[in-house]
Chain A
C-alpha cells in the first residue's frame, strides 16, 4: 500500500518548480497547524475550506503584525509570488524596515497560513495561497498608501500638453502615417511627412511616438488612426495613457499607487521569472515621474496626481491668425486644445513657433467622417486671433462639411422570423425592455438587432418560444462559473490588482499607517512571539519525509538504493551542514536547503570522498558546486555507495520514483468542454478567469476597440500581450480563433480560444 499524504497525492500543478516534494510536506504541515487540520489526515480537505473562510482569514489578518500586512500587500502587488530579495528591497524603501525583522515577518505570515515560504530556483520567495489569496488581496492592497487625498490635491501645477505631438497626431487623420507591425511609427514613412513639413524626421517621429503613448493616435492595420477622444483628452492636458486617465478619473490618487500598479503591469507579462518587482518599480517610478498632463501636488509627504479638468476650449481668444486663404496659424505658444480641434479639420503644414494648418475640402470631410461637427471646428477657429472667422472661410467650411459623404459601419445582427411572427417577435423584445435593441426592419420578418443586445434579445425570444439559431459569433454566456478546484491549488498566482483605487480594510490600513509612523515598534515586539521554534526543517525531518514517500510497488533494489541515499545523507549531514554554514545570507539559506534535502544533494552524496571533500572546501556558488558534483558523478568519480545508488537508477521503478518526486506532469484538458480549461488558468503566472468572462471580454474589446491584456498558453508556458481584438472566427462547436493585432507582438496573431487564459481590460 503506497503511503500518500494529504497534500501530495495529487500535487498542485502550480507548485511545479517552486516546491520540492519534501517542502510540500512541510507546507502541508504548516497549513494544517495554522488552520487546524492534521497533516497526516488523508486529504486534509477541510484545510482549504477553512482557508477560504473570510471571517477566519480576517481574524488571521488581525493577528498578523503591521509589518506582516505590509509584506502581504507587496505579495499581492507582485501577483502572489515575490522573491525575498525584492521583498526586502521594496519594504525597506516603503516602510523603512529591513533585515531580520522582515525574515521574522515572513515566517509570521507563513505560520498564520496566509502565505508560504518557497524556493524559486536558487532564491527564497514568499507566495500567497490560492484559497485565501483574493480575500487577503482585498484586505491588504493599499494598506501602506495614504488613506484620503488632502484637500489641496488637484490644485498643483499642470504639466503642459505636448502641442507638437498633438499637431503631429492630427496629421494621421489626413495623411497615412504608417505603423510597424509592433505598433511603432514607421520611420521611412515619417521621412516623407517630415519633408512636407520641412521638419526634422527624428523630431517628427518622436512627436508621433509621444502622441501614440498618450493615446492620441493608435496603430491599426499598419497605420495610425486618430483616436479623437484620446486626442482631445491629451489636448486638455491629460497626456496620460487611457489607463492612467481611468485611474485618475474619480479624483486625485497617490502617485505611489500609480507606481505600484504600473510596476505590477510590468511584471504581469513576464510571469514570475521576468524582472522582479523592485526592478519593475524603478521603471514605473520613471514613467510616473515623466507623466504628462497630470496635476501634481505634495501633501503629507506624498505626491498626489489628478487629471486637470480643463474646459474643452479656452474661453479667451488665443494668439494666431486665420486668413481668407484658408490658412490657420496658431501661436506662438499655441493652446493645445485649439491645435487639436483645428488639426482635426485642417492639414498640418508647418510645426514651428506658430503652427500652421490649411483648411481643405478633404480635411473637413475627414473630420466629419470621424464624427466631429463643423460647429466644433468653427468654434475653435473663432478663438484663433482677434478677428474671428472670415466669412468666406466660414461658408467654405459649412459647405464642405455639408457635402462630405460619410458612412459609418456598425455590427448588427439580422434576425429572420416568419412574416406572420414579426409582430410576436417585436412584442417579445418589447416585453423584455429590448425595444430599443431593434434598429430597424428590412421587411416583414427581418429585424435588425443591435449587436450588443443580441444575447439578451436571444434570451427574450427564446423565452417567448422562438428557437433561435444562426452563425452569429459565439456570444453564448456560460451561466455557471466553474471556478477553480481549490483543493488542487496551493500557491496562488493572483490576477493583477484591478485598475482603480484600492479599498483595503480600513482598520488594517489604520494599523499599518500608525505602525509606519512609530517605526513598527509594535511589530518588533509581536514578531518575536510568532516565529516558530526550531526554525527550518531539519535534515532528519526531510529524510523522514522522503522515506514516507517510498512506494510499496518499488522493487527491492530501488528501496535499497533509497535507503542507501538516506543513510549516506545521515552520515554526511555534519559535513554538508558545515559546508552550507560557510556561506552568507541567501546563499547560505539556499545551501542549507540543498544539504537538508537528500534528492537535491544526491550528486554530493554519491561522490568519492576525496572529490566531495575538494568540492566542499571550494568557494564557488552552491549551484556551481552542485553542477560540478553532477559532472563528476557522470564521469564515475563515485564512492562505493554512490556507485550502488547510480547503478540502481536505470531500474525502471527507481527511475520513475525519482521522476515522480522531482517532476510533476501536467494534466491535459479533458474532453471538449471549454470550462475544463479553467483548470489550467493558474499556469505560469497567468491570471485566472472564468471562460464566460474571457468570451465576454473578447467581444467587449472587439466592440469598443480598446486594447486588452490577453494571456494565452504557448507550447512552453504562457505568453501575454496588449492587443487589439480584430476578429473572432468560429472553429467547431465552441472553439474560436482570436485574431489580434498585437501592439507589442507580430501582426494578426491567431490564438485558439482554448489557449486563451484571460482577457483583462
Chain B
C-alpha cells in the first residue's frame, strides 16, 4: 500500500485522523488502539490522540519506542511530523524512570526509585513532593498513605509512576457468574481482560446501555475478593444489588446496601453512594465518617460507577485507597469542571473504550434518532426573557410554557411507546406531569415510591413517566424507548449523553430522543454545547420547528 493509500493522517498536535471508510481502517485502528486514545468517533473520521497517558500505557504494556514509531509510520499517509516523533520518543522514555516499590522491611513505607538523577533533583526541589518524600540512595521513601498524592504530583510534573507496589488482595469471596442466565458480549470480555491485565486499576468507557454492570460483575468474579461499589444514588444501589443477585451466585445477603435512611449494612459486596462516602463527621483519620468506617474493611476491589460524577471531595479520599484495586466505569469521559485528568490519575487511566456508534451498528445498544425541537417563546414569556438578567435567562427559557404544548404533541405522536420526560426545573416538570396525567419522580419522591413507579413503568402499567435530574444516571429502565428532555443543566455534555443513555438498551424499533429548546434564547447555545459529546460520537440531531405543531418536519 503506497503512502497515499494509508488511512491515517498524523497532525502536528499529536492528533491522528483516521478515515473510517478506508480499506486500511481496521489495521490502523488496531495499531492506534495500543498507543493512542480515541477522542472522537463520528461517522466517517475518528480522531485519536497520542496522549501522554496512552503512550505510557503502551510502554507499560511492553511496547518499545521503535514499535510505536514503526506502527505509526506504517499507517500514516504522510511523513510523521518531526516534533511529533520527538515528543513520542520523549514521552515513552519517561516511562519507567519512576517506579513505586514495596519497602523491603517496613510495610508502612514505600520506595520510589527514580532512574534519572536530573529528575530526582527536580522532585527534591518540588515544594509539594519534597514534603512527601524522603531521599534514599536511588530515589525516595514515602509513607504508604502518601501513595496517591505522590503519584498525582509526579504525574503533574510530567512523569508517570510505574506502580509496582503491592495491592491488597482483600478478603476472598466466593462468587461466580451465572452463565446460564446471560452470556457476556465479546467487548465486555475484552474490557474485563484489559482491566485485569493492567494490574487492577483504571477506567472502562462503554456507552450507556452497553452493560457496564455486567462488566463489573465479570471483574468481581475474576478477582473473587470483597468489593465496595460506589454509585450515584439510592436507586442505582438497588439496581446493582438486583443485578448482582440475578447474574452471579451472590445472594441478597451477600450484597449489602450502605445507604442513608436505612440500616448501614456491610457485606462481602457492599453498594454505597458517593454522597455517603463524602459525608463529614466522626473522629476517623479522614474526618469522613462513612469513608473511615468502610475503609477499615478488607476490600480487594473498589468499583466507581459513573466515575465522571466522582465529587471533587472524593479525589482526596480516593487518593487514600491507592493500595486497593480500582475500577472506574463511565459512558462519558468528560467533566465540565476540567478535572478529568485528576479522576483518571487517581482511579487509573482509560483501559478500554468502544465507540457508541460501533455498538449501535452491532446491535448491542439501540439505534437512536435525536431531535432538537425548537419552540418559540410564549407571548408572555418573551417580555420576561427580554427583561431577565443573564443569570435568569436560562431558567426563563427552560420554563417556556410553549414547550408543554410541544411535549404533548410529541407524546401524542408516540402513542403506545414508553416515554420518559426528563428535565431540570421542578415547576415545569410538575406542569408536564399534570398535562400528561403522568406520575413524576423528583428528589422529593420517597425511595419506595420511586421504586414503585419505576417498577410500574418497567411492567408497562405506566407508559409515561416524568423525572427530574434524579433520572439522569444509573437508572435502568430498559423498556423506555422515547425520551423527551424538557430542560437541561446549562451546557452539560455528559448530562445530555447520560439522558440519551436511558433509552439505549437494545430494543426493536430503536430509540427516539427529543430535546426541547426555546428558539432565539440562550438555550440554543447551551443545546449546541450539550450535543457536542454525542455529535462527536457520530450522533446527528435533526432540527424540528414547533409552533402549534411541527412545521417543516425534518430540514
Give me the interface of A with B, judged by CB distance under 8 Å: 198, 321, 323-327, 329, 332, 350, 352-354, 360-361, 385-387, 390-392, 394-396, 398-399, 403
Contacts and interface: CB of A to CB of B under 8 A. Distances in A.
A61 to B, nearest CB: 61
Contacts of A326: 528, 535
Contacts of A353: 9, 11-12, 78
A361 B543 CA distance: 14
B525 interface: yes
Contacts of B554: 391, 395
A179 B456 CA distance: 66
Interface stretch (B37-45, B56-64, B96-104, B299-307): B37-45
A332 to B, nearest CB: 6
B42 A324 contact: yes
Contact of B78 (A323, A332, A350, A396): A332
26 contacts: A198-B13, A321-B17, A321-B19, A321-B42, A323-B538, A324-B43, A324-B535, A324-B540, A325-B40, A325-B532, A325-B536, A326-B528, A352-B11, A352-B13, A353-B9, A354-B9, A361-B525, A385-B44, A391-B540, A392-B541, A392-B542, A392-B543, A394-B555, A395-B542, A396-B543, A399-B374
Interface residues of B, number: 31
Given A323-B536, A324-B540, A353-B9, A329 B45 contact: yes
B378 interface: no
B167 to A, nearest CB: 38
Nearest to A393: B540
Contacts of B535: 323-326, 392
Interface string B7-50: 00101110001010100000000000000000010111100000
A387 B538 CA distance: 13
A352 B17 CA distance: 12
Contacts of B21: 386
Contacts of A395: 542-543, 554-555
A390 to B, nearest CB: 6
Nearest to B525: A361
A399 B540 contact: no
Contacts of A396: 528, 543
A387 B555 contact: no
Given A198-B13, A321-B42, A324-B535, 4 more contacts: A324-B541, A332-B78, A386-B21, A396-B528
Interface string B347-374: 0000000000000000000000000001
A392 B11 contact: no
Contacts of B542: 391-392, 395
B70 interface: no
Contacts of B258: none
Contact of B11 (A350, A361, A398): A350
A358 to B, nearest CB: 10
Contacts of B543: 392, 395-396, 399
A392 B536 CA distance: 13
Contacts of A352: 11-13
Given A323-B44, A350-B11, A350-B13, A392 B525 contact: no
Contacts of B525: 361
A11 B21 CA distance: 84
B528 A332 contact: no
Given A332-B9, A353-B9, A361-B525, A323 B45 contact: yes
B520 interface: yes
Interface of B: 9, 11-13, 17, 19, 21, 40, 42-45, 77-78, 374, 520, 524-525, 528, 531-532, 535-536, 538-543, 554-555
A383 B249 CA distance: 58
B77 A332 contact: yes
Nearest to A362: B525
Contacts of B528: 326, 360-361, 396
Contacts of A361: 524-525, 528
Contacts, number: 79
A323 B42 contact: yes
A427 B510 CA distance: 70
A324 B9 contact: no
Contact of B43 (A323, A354, A394, A399): A323
Q: Considering the complex of A and B, which 4 residue pairs feature the smallest CB-CB distances, nearest first?
A: A395-B555, A325-B535, A395-B543, A323-B42
A321 B555 contact: no
A198 B49 CA distance: 15
A321 B11 contact: no
Given A325-B42, A332-B9, A332-B78, A354 B538 contact: no
Contacts of A360: 528
Contacts of A325: 40, 42, 531-532, 535-536
A392 B43 CA distance: 13
A544 to B, nearest CB: 80
Of A324, A390, A391, the most chain B CB neighbours within 10 A belong to A324
A466 to B, nearest CB: 46
Contacts of B539: 324
A329 B541 CA distance: 20
Nearest to B535: A325
Of B9, B11, B13, B538, the most chain A CB neighbours within 10 A belong to B11
A147 to B, nearest CB: 46
A413 B437 CA distance: 63
Contacts of A198: 12-13
Contact of A392 (B13, B45, B532, B540): B540
B397 to A, nearest CB: 15
B12 A324 contact: no
Contacts of A324: 42-43, 535, 538-541
Nearest to B17: A354
B357 to A, nearest CB: 10
A256 B291 CA distance: 84
Contacts of B538: 323-324
Contacts of B45: 321, 323, 329
A346 to B, nearest CB: 13
Contacts of B13: 198, 350, 352
A71 to B, nearest CB: 55
A386 B43 CA distance: 12
Nearest to B41: A323
Nearest to A356: B11
Contacts of A399: 374, 543, 555
B177 to A, nearest CB: 38
Nearest to B40: A325
Contacts of B42: 321, 323-325, 327
Nearest to B4: A332
Nearest to B544: A395
Contact of B555 (A327, A391, A403): A391
A394 B554 CA distance: 11
A354 B43 CA distance: 18
A396 B554 CA distance: 12
Contact of A387 (B17, B44, B77): B44
Nearest to A397: B555
A398 B520 contact: no
B550 to A, nearest CB: 13
Contacts of B19: 321
Contacts of A387: 43-44
A325 B528 CA distance: 9
A198 B11 CA distance: 11
A198 B45 CA distance: 21
A390 B9 contact: no
A403 B17 contact: no
B340 to A, nearest CB: 18
B474 to A, nearest CB: 26
Contacts of A394: 555
A325 B520 CA distance: 20
Contacts of A392: 535, 540-543
Given A361-B528, A392-B542, A398 B555 contact: yes
Nearest to A325: B535
Of A327, A350, A385, A387, the most chain B CB neighbours within 10 A belong to A327
Contacts of B531: 325
